[in-house]
Every structure is written in structure tokens, then in C-alpha cells.
Structure 1
Amino acid sequence: MRRRYLLALYVLAGCASPANKALLPTPTVTPPPPAVAPAPAPAPQPVIPPVVSGDQVFDAWAAEFYGRATKAGVSRSVLDRELKGLTPDPRVGNLDSRQPEFSKPISEYLKGVVTGGRVSMGLQRRSEPYFDRIEQRYGVPREILMGVWALESGYGAIQGDYDVIRSLATLAAQGRRRSWAEGELIAVLKIIESGEHARSRLRGSWAGAMGQTQFIPTTFASTAVDHDGDGKRDIWASPADALASAANLLSKAGWVRGQSWAREVTVPAGFDWSLTEGPRETPGWWADRGVTRADRLPWADTDLSAKAQLVAPTGARGPVFLLFPNHFAIRRYNNSIAYALGVGLLADRIGGQGDLVKPWPAETPLSLADRMTAQRALAALGFDPGAPDGVVGMGTRTALRNWQKARGLVADGYLSPEMVQRLKTEAQAAGAAS
């Protein structure tokens, strides 16, 4: 009976009207909490370099460099510390922009390089104990290394005392060599960040070359070695490290063990001077054209198969050389015929060789105006020397040789005052006739 009563109540509840349903208790539903929007990411803080020198050009460059340096892997803390308070060095700016009014003749340069004092000092230092191991490892003779050492720093005595960071920053801000200078500056900052050397150690020339063998920072990073085994590559205080590093550079540049760097030669009457700075051929090939060693000695076996280039640095009146591949390895250190001749000739003297058979002639310095006049005249006459910048480089010498040969002159590519005047006169006549 009770079951039937309860069942009837359930049926009545199911048939109740909507109004009655409203009176029934309803379950309490707790609404979900409103969604909380994520906090906005903090706005990136602007990179504000600590360089406020008062020089607008320098400060604008520094602001841009900051981003490039961090992208290259230099930490913000190192940048903040090393660039704080940095100012341009006016001495560096003046040296970089200064174009010499007169070009020093190569004979005068070499007379100032290959001196009795440097030869004497080299003879005193050539028995240093570290040379044996350096020669054995890298194959570069000690005399060549002493030539580099003498030219770069006076055997370590004159290394330069410029702050390398400030010098490179000044060069970069000026813009003429910005890409190069910034690359070197980043390399310096990474040396500091690595802990290998503090900034106080990184002193050098106004152009950023450092130590007894004057390495630029990227070359230091890739080529310097710790030869004395003290755990640091110290090209400032350790001659062993500096000279082994120079030997490593020359070895990487292709130095050929046991081969000459150059030899003075003589040429016959009527020689085709247009061959200078041209083909690289064996001594036998040159002998077929009448070229022989000036000292009349036979060629060493190591030189017989080497390809050599003939040069006449002061024209047909001066000494002539065959340059072997090792000469061009020296020019990887400094890409200048005069520099490489200076290193090699000084090395020969330290090694016991005498003076050149043919002496250097007296030369007349050419003004910047003369050099640029010659370049413009060559261009006007159809012999392109490149930009008229007053630098008598390979382009100018080649154009001059071609003009000389076309005019039936001795085509030695030597720009003398006489050649300047002839070029100027011919170009003026050609301009008047056109």
C-alpha cells in the first residue's frame, strides 16, 4: 500500500504545470570564475649605449654599433663597461685622413729600413733560444722573422700606446673603413670577454695593430700562439709568442720551407721591360730571356722549380729582382712591395749577405698633384689606371707600362718626373685637338 502511495506522488509531480515546477527547489550552480587575461609582456627596453661624447657623428655611430655588436655575440655587460664614456681620438682621425703631399721614393724608404743599426741588433738577437723550435715547427727562417720584428716594432721597442678600442671606434665612426674597423673592434671586445687579456693590455698603433709583431685583433684571434707555454698568447711582453705568431701567419700564407724569398738579377740590353710585374715563371724560363743572378751564383735546387715574378721597383735604372712565392707570403703580412723588400733585404744582411750589386738610384719625390695629374692623363689617353687617387699602385703601373710600350719608351712602369711631364703634355695636346 505504501509503495502505491509513493508511486502516485511521483506521477503527480511529473504532471505538474510549469508554474508549479518553478516552486520546486533548483540545484545551485556556481558559475566559473571569469577568465583572467594574461598580463601583457613588458615592452622591450631600448638599447641606450653609454656613449655620450658630445660628438654627434660618433654618438650616432655608437648607437647603431651597439646592436650590431650584440648580434655578433658581444655581451651587453661588456659593451656597457668598455664603451662607457668613450670619445673619439682626434689623433687617429687626423692620421687616417692625412694624405702625404709627397710620396717617399722606395729607394729612400729601403735605405731607412736596411740600416747598420738594425743589422747589428739582428745579429745580437738571432741566437735567442726560442728560434730553433720556431724554425723547426713553422719552417720560416729566423732572419725573416727578425726582419718583420725590426720593421714592425724596432725589435719590440716601439709597439704603440694607443687604446685599441678607442682607435678602432674612431676609425669606424669616421666611416671610410667602417666595416673593417667594426669587425676589428668586435674582435677586441671578444678578446676582453674571453678573459685572455684585459683592456689595459690591448695597446697598439693608431690603426689598431698590437704587440711586437703588430697583429690586428682578428689576426690575433685566428693566428697568435702561446709559444712559451704560460697559458696566454702574449705578443706584447713575450718575444717567443710574438715571433712564433708571426711565423704561424707566414706559414698559413704559404711560406715554402727552404726556398728563397727573392734574388737580385740582371737583364740584357734590349730587354722587354713590359714583362715586369707580369708572368710568374721558373728561373730557367727567365734565363732563356737573358735574366741571370746578379751574384753569378747557381740557383738552389729548391728555387729551380719555383715560379718567380720579375720586378724593377725603381725602373730600369735600379736593381731588378725575381720574386719567389715567399715574397708574396710576406706581403700577406703587409701588401706592399716596399715592405716585403725591406723585410727580405734586412733578413739577407742579418744572414751575412752583402749589399746589392746594383745600387739604388737617386729618386725625386713626386707630389700628390703630380701623381694625380699622371693618372688623369693616362685615363684621358685611353690607358685606365683606376681612380685618380695619387696612389701609384698596380693599376697605375700597368697603365703606365702599356702607354710607354705604345710610345716606344722603356716600358718599366716607373713614374718619374719626366714621365709625368710627357703624359701631361700629350694629354693637353690630345684635349686641344679634340
Structure 2
Amino acid sequence: MKFLKTLYIAVVTLATQTAFAQDAQFTQCIANLGNAASQAGVSRHTFQHYTANLVPDTSLLEKLNYQPEFRTPIWDYLSSLVDDERIIDGQAKLREYQQDFQRMNQQFGIDPATVAAVWGVESNYGKNQGKYSLVEALGTLSCMGRRQEFFRKEFFATLRIIQSGDISADRLVGSWAGAFGHTQFMPTTFERLAIDFDKDGRRDLMDSSVDAIGSTANYLKRNGWQTGQPWGFEVKIPAGMSTAGEGRRQKKSISHWMSKGVTTIDGQALSNLASNTQQAGLLLPAGPTGPAFLVFKNFDVIYSYNAAESYALAIAHLSDRLRGAGPFVTPWPTDDLGLSRAERRQLQELLLSRGYDIGEADGVIGSKSRDAIKAEQARLGMKIDGRAGQKILKALQQ
């Protein structure tokens, strides 16, 4: 017993010493950034005022290597991002801000549904803008973990935004990696492309939906948006056609795809939707047995907002749904489709009713929910993977 107590004290002491040393290194690192910040346009007063009592948030380091866009099956990723709730809410926003969207369309040539889709995916129309202080998060990532040079540029930009008076430090909160506001601009992107679309004298993506609408349109236009052109559309590939080497970047003319026997998803000629000379790449997000798409330049522009094809497809698909289009025709190659946010809440309510301590039924499937799902999968003789899919929901509903 005495040995265990001694061991415990030793472990706690070592952890405390390690944390103290880590904090000291962080404080020194931040102090060393003063000259670089000054050269980057941050005044001495601003830098010292906002870094004087800065402490690192080391919980951010584990997030650096996790991106759901690349780890989540495409059918799970899209099921929660393009669900009935987000479509209904987005159509309501299009009506609420109709005049602002029309003015945006006239000035930038971007269709309202695309900007609304970015808004919906990025922050659920402003409801989920993030909770991390940008000064603290970007200060931490400027001195810890990988990509420190990248985060230092964003850290200095954050301080310049505060210094300019556009957004106060206490309102400047967002994602752990520094994106903020209704449409989640990084600080350097904000400086380059945010605009004062509501004409109140400030560029404010935190509290002005109108500024967010105009700034997002400006971003898309500056990145090459082609007015009046589609992002792409779902197609049907003939049996036996080789898709090896095809992708978003390998663009070929519509006449080439027609010569291969590719048609629109309802069997029409591709020339009904695009000119013969237009260049399109064949996108197969789930392989040759899943939905297939021909994607144009505007898909690449959406991709530039967050470099993941699944993300770009979510924006593109949501924009179509906001215009009244239906879901994809070709089914995903899985026997266990993903859940909408409403279905995720239903699943959590069922787990709560069985006595699992998973917190609130908020539709966010965290570690406690996954552990509870694993326990139920084991009880039901299912594959134990902790995944929130249609199979476990239907099993618990029965």
C-alpha cells in the first residue's frame, strides 16, 4: 500500500513538472514571436496585451491529425450534412435574406443556393460557429505541434483583425484550427476577402449574416467561379467502361464522355445539360459501384474552400437540394446507410432509455455514444464497431 502511494505521488509530481516545463517553454515561445509579429503589422501594445496571460490548450494537439472529411464513409458524412433539417433551414434563410442574396448575385454572379449551402455546412446557418478563442487556439498551435509556421501567420492575422476594430477579441471564437464566423473564414482569408456587405463600417463574420453572405460570394468569385455554370451532375456510366485513372482533375470534353456512352442519370444526352466542349472530370466518391458525377470548374472552386472532395460534394449536393432537387439516384454501395441528425438524436434517446450515461441527445456521436453502441452491438450479436448507422437504429427501435 505504501509503495502504491509513493508511486502515485511520483507520477503526479512528474506530470506536474512536465506541465510546468511545457508552460514555461510555451511562454518563452510566445515571447520570441514578438519581433515577427511586429514585422507582420501587429503593434507592440496589441501583441503584449493579448499574449500577456496566454496559456496553451494542449487538447488541440490531438485534433491536428484528425479530419472527418477523410476518415468518415462518404454516406455517413453526407447523411448528417445534407439532411431534411438543413434543407428546410436553408430554404428559410434564402427567404429571410432574399434581398441580400439577390444583391449578392447581381454583384458577384454567384447563385444564392451555393452560398447558402456553404453557410449551412460550415456553421449550420450560424448556430455552430465554434467555441475556441482564436487568440488562445492559434497561439497554442503557433508554438506546439506540427505546421507551426502556418498557424503563426493565422495568429498574427487574428491579432491584426482585433487591432483593426473589425471584431473584438472576446467575440473572435471559432474552430480549434482558427476558422471563424458564419462561413468559417481563416483569419488570413478574412483579411483578404471579407467585405462590409451590410455597410455598417465593419467586416463582421461573427454577428452579421449579411457580411457573411457577401464575403463568401467574394471568396468564390475570386477563386474562379463561372457564373451560370453548374458544379456538375450525377451521371450513368455504361457497364464495362473503364474508370481507371479518372478523377476530378482529369477533365475531358463532354463530347468525349458522350462517346464513351456516359449519359445523365435519367438516360438523356449530356449535351442537354452542358456544351460539347465543356471540360468535366469523372468523380467516383465511393468507387465505380456508387454514384458517379461529372464535375466542372465550379466544383473545384467549392473544393478550394476546404480541400476534401467529400466536403465539396456536400456543398454541391446541398445547393441542389435547396433548389428543390431530390437525393442522388444511384444508391451508395453499403447495406448500412448513415443517419441524419434527427436519427442520431433518436438513437441517443434509445441508448439513454436503456440506461447508458451518454449525456444529452444532441445528435453528436462522441466516445460515450460509441461505447454504448458497441455494448448494444455485442448484446445483439452485431458487428462491434461503435458506428451509428441504420442497422443499430432499426435494431433498437424494434
Distance, in Å, in 2 between the alignment partners of 1:236 and 1:306 is: 38
What one-letter code is carried by the residue in structure 2 that aligns with 1:169?
A: G
What one-letter code is carried by the residue in structure 2 that aligns with 1:296?
A: G
What one-letter code is carried by the residue in structure 2 that aligns with 1:64?
A: N
Matching residue within 175, 182, 187 for 1:217: 187
Contact 2:94-2:113 at 8 Å conserved across structures? yes
Q: CA deviation at 1:64?
A: 2.1
Distance, in Å, in 1 between the alignment partners of 2:172 and 2:277 is: 43
Aligned position for 1:280: 251
The normalised TM-score by structure 2 is: 0.74
Matches of residues 112-131 of structure 1 in structure 2 within 5 Å?
112-127=80-95, 128=97, 129-131=99-101
Please list the CA deviations of residues 35-86 of structure 1 after superposition, one character each: whole Å capped at 9, or x if unmatched. Answer: xxxxxxxxxxxxxxxxx99613312321321121122222111111010110
Aligned position for 2:51: 83
Question: Quick check: which has more Rg, 1 or 2?
Answer: 1
Matches of residues 1-400 of structure 1 in structure 2 within 5 Å?
55-97=23-65, 103-127=71-95, 128=97, 129-277=99-247, 279-298=250-269, 299=271, 303-362=275-334
Distance, in Å, in 2 between the alignment partners of 1:110 and 1:271 is: 27
Distance, in Å, in 1 between the alignment partners of 2:80 and 2:307 is: 19
Aligned residues: 313
Greater mean deviation of Cα atoms: 221-230 or 107-116: 107-116
The normalised TM-score by structure 1 is: 0.68
Q: CA deviation at 1:162?
A: 1.1
Distance, in Å, in 2 between the alignment partners of 1:227 and 1:53 is: 47
Distance, in Å, in 2 between the alignment partners of 1:91 and 1:300 is: 52
Aligned with 2:33: secondary structure? helix
Contact 2:253-2:277 at 8 Å conserved across structures? yes
Distance, in Å, in 1 between the alignment partners of 2:178 and 2:153 is: 11
In structure 2, runs of 5+ residues without a counterpart are 1-19, 338-398
Aligned with 2:281: secondary structure? strand
**Identical-pair percentage:** 38
Contact 1:306-1:325 at 8 Å conserved across structures? no
Aligned with 2:170: secondary structure? helix
Aligned with 1:269: secondary structure? coil
What one-letter code is carried by the residue in structure 1 that aligns with 2:202?
A: K
Distance, in Å, in 1 between the alignment partners of 2:180 and 2:299 is: 23
Aligned with 1:55: secondary structure? helix
Contact 2:236-2:267 at 8 Å conserved across structures? no
Q: CA deviation at 1:353?
A: 1.0
- What is the CA RMSD across the aligned residues, in angstroms? 2.1
Q: CA deviation at 1:140?
A: 1.2
In structure 1, runs of 5+ residues without a counterpart are 1-51, 366-434
What one-letter code is carried by the residue in structure 2 that aligns with 1:309?
A: G
Please list the CA deviations of residues 274-331 of structure 1 after superposition, one character each: whole Å capped at 9, or x if unmatched. Answer: 1421621121111111111113345457654321100111111101000110000001
Pair 361,54 (structure 1): closer, same or farther in 2 beyond 3 Å: closer
What one-letter code is carried by the residue in structure 1 that aligns with 2:260?
A: R
What one-letter code is carried by the residue in structure 2 that aligns with 1:276?
A: E
Aligned with 1:322: secondary structure? strand
Distance, in Å, in 1 between the alignment partners of 2:72 and 2:171 is: 33
Aligned with 1:264: secondary structure? strand
What one-letter code is carried by the residue in structure 1 that aligns with 2:92?
A: Q
